[in-house]
Amino acid sequence: MNPFTHVANWPWYYVGLYFYISSVSAGAYIIGSMAELYGGERQREIGRVAFSLALPLILAAPVLLIADLGRPERFWHLFFYSKDGIPYINLQSPMSVGAWGLTAYGGFALLSFLNIMAINGRLTFAPFAKLYNRLPRKTYAVIGMLTGLFVAGYPGVLLNVTAWPLWEATSPLLGSLFIASGASTGAAAIILVMARQKRVAGETYSHLEKVDRVSMIIELLIIGAVIVVAGQYAAPIMSGFYGVMFWGGTVFLGILFPLGLYWYAGRPGVDRNRLVMLTAVLVLFGGALLRISLMQAG
Amino acid sequence: MAKGMFIDTSVCIGCKSCQVACKEWNVLEGEPTHFRQLPGAPYPIAVNFTGNSYDNTAALSATDWRHVFFIEEFSQDRSVARWFFSSDSCKHCNDAGCLNSCPTGAIIRTDMGNVFVQDDVCIGCKSCVPSCPFGVIALSPKTGTVHKCTLCNDRIHNGLGTACAKACPTGSILFGDVPELKAIADARLAKLKALGETKANIYGYDEAGGLNVFYLFLDRPMVYGQPEHPVVPQQRLPLSTAATVLGAAAIGVAALISFRERGSKKSEEEKK
């Protein structure tokens, strides 16, 4: 560990935001696939909302990532070695593997999105719909879920595999932390959409809330472990502006307070709908601040 | 045969000829000045220059591929004084963090062992920047790509040594085959130790998987602005990946359980 490394200077409004948006998308997709695969007929609802969220969100990813490049017009060099045009992957580079993984995930997000369109009757172009019905939905839900887990987790590995002190010291935990946060914010995004449509009632909602609660508790445990593992190198997120952002924004407003609100909203006689919306917004907000504080601090 | 450099800091006089030669041969522009209004100062200060030291640029950058690091340690009354110099550059690591992290194949190792950035391939993703344990490689806002010392790739492939070694008036920078340089370094270290320089050490034989540009220091590496225990960051890749896969499995199982408890939830709701 050393203080001589240059920071990458990935601006939070490009790369930090990408890490966040992609993990919300992937988190929603993972939960949607789970509901699709293991939930009953009544939980199809979750999948429908999740898959209609996952694609639009992930479409922002290439825009943000390409905007961050020093030479945006050369972004295709990530996929093809520009000297000979042969497809290129560097297995030691999380960014290289990530570019391919993100593309794969985007493909599955598209398939699932089209599936929802077809179910909703919005996809009426006959030859396409016909071809579409032949694809094994459950198979690609499983593979799509795995690519989703990859997309949510690889940014953590990418940061851990640098020499920047805070990112180096938090190894090997950032990947798991981002996946936990992705699952939690993904569930919150689904809950938010369902709450807006006043559909937070009964079994469907209670499953989602449980996923969110469990992920947030796992996230808390990982944050605890991160602080222990990082030791003195956690200093940039222990005090100052990013300390407030991390502890006040992410841990308190984004995890502890929402956990309390979920508990309160579950009590009889409480107007659940608005409270749940507030909770989901807080969780989503905390997830964004988690990425921003960890990226910018140090 | 891997080419490299041996930097004997014990004979460096801080003349910065190497910095000038590097700039000239590689046609590097002057470091762009970044002004910032600092508290207490009535006018903007050039924050990327020291202004209080013979060491002006303070660090390597996209336009400063060589940097003479000045160690100016003086007590208040100047009764105790140490004035050291160390000419720093890219170390051309045997296992280079920047090269490992490059997602486009822009950073390559040539047949002479030097690590070289192909400017026409680089996309400016910046992943190499924090992957260098020594803070060498840097993005140029002007070209949108990263730059660093090439070990004078064009010169060494045409039978010449590096420009900095050529310009060095004291033999502090030696260019050559790594094994031969190591023999020179070992002999010099033995000599200095015999002269009573007990803290003298060679930096770069084992650090970060071995460096093709290595140093003789008279004190701990930290004094010379080098990390004490640099690690190639990709060494953490297997563990980091494994932990993330485990985390993914844990979250997957947690989500699965949350969806599987249909039966019990239903009966609870029925009871109410």
B70 contact partners, CB below 8 Å, separation of at least 6: B14, B53, B54, B55, B83, B84, B85
* A290-294, B31-35, B124-128, B175-179: least confident range: B31-35
Task: Give me the pLDDT at residue B264, please.
Answer: 47
- Alpha carbon distance, N-terminus to C-terminus of chain A: 13
Percent of chain A with pLDDT over 70: 94
Q: Peptide bond preceding A172: is omega within 30 degrees of 0, i.e. cis? A: yes
In A53-207 the beta strands, taken as DSSP E runs, fall at: none
For A9-23, A35-49, A247-261, B88-102, which range has the lowest pLDDT when averaged over its residues? A35-49
Backbone phi and psi for residue B144, each to the nearest 5 degrees, phi listed first: 75, 10
Which single residue is written with the structure tokens 């595999």? A161
Q: CB distance from A201 to chain B under 8 Å?
A: no
CB atoms < 10 A from the CB of A91, how many? 9
CA dist list (Å): B80 to A71, A163, B76, B220? 50, 35, 9, 18
pLDDT in tens, B215-257: 999 999 999 999 999 999 999 999 999 999 999 999 999 888 8
Using the predicted structure, report yes or no on whether residue A46 has a pLDDT greater than 60: yes
Residue B125 has a pLDDT of: 96
Which of A71, A142, A294 to substitute to test the interface with B, most B CBs within 10 Å?
A71
Pairing type for strands B3-8 and B213-217 reads: parallel
Choose the weakest-confidence range: A124-138, A245-259, B60-74. Answer: A124-138
Tell me whether A68 touches chain B (CB under 8 Å).
yes
Interface of A with B in 80-119 (CB under 8 A): 81-83, 88, 90, 92-96, 98-99
CATH of A12-296 given 3.40.47.10, 1.20.1630.10, 3.40.50.720, 3.40.50.460: 1.20.1630.10
Amino acid letter, residue B32: P
Query: Residue B193 to residues B11, B87, B148: CA-CA distances in angstroms?
Result: 15, 21, 34
Give A177-205 pLDDT, tens digit per residue.
999 999 999 999 999 998 888 766 677 88
CA distance A293 to A295: 5
Mean pLDDT of B49-67: 87
**CB–CB of B123 and A69 under 8 A?**
yes
Q: Which of residues 14-53 of A touch B (CB under 8 A)?
A: 30-31, 34-35, 38-40, 43
Judge: A71–B227 Cβ closer than 8 Å, yes or no.
no
Please say if the pLDDT value at position A62 is more than 60. yes
Q: What token pair was written down for A124? A: 């009426």
Ramachandran assignment for B27, one of left (phi > 0), alpha (psi -120 to 50 degrees), beta (any other)? left
> Which residue on chain B is closest to A179 by alpha carbon?
B248
Whether residues B237 and A92 touch (CB distance < 8 A) is answered with yes
B235 C-beta neighbours (distance < 10 Å), count: 16
B128-162 residue pLDDT tens: 999 999 999 999 999 999 999 999 999 999 999 99
Nearest CB to B135: which of A6, A30, A156?
A: A6
Instruction: Mutate one of A14, A84, A95 to test the B interface: name it (highest B CB count within 10 A).
Output: A95
Percent of chain B with pLDDT over 70: 96
Chain segment A73-114, per-residue pLDDT in tens = 999 999 999 999 999 999 999 999 999 999 999 999 998 898
- Confidence tier at B265 by pLDDT (50, 70, 90): very low
Looking only at the bridges linking them, the beta strands covering B35-36 and B45-46 are: antiparallel
What residues pair up with B138 in beta bridges, in sequence order?
Answer: B147
Structure tokens at A208: 């989602």
Residue A171's Cβ-side half-sphere holds a number of Cα atoms within 13 Å equal to 23
Chain B nearest-CA distance from A6, in A, is 5
Grade residue B269 by pLDDT with cuts at 50, 70 and 90. Answer: very low
CA geometry: angle at A24 spanning A18 and A29, to 5°? Answer: 125
CB proximity under 8 Å: B 205-264 to A = 225-231, 233-234, 236-237, 239-244, 246-248, 250-252, 254-262
Q: What is the ipTM of this complex?
A: 0.92
Q: Mean pLDDT for chain A?
A: 90
CA dihedral over A70, A72, A75, A81, signed as positive or negative: negative
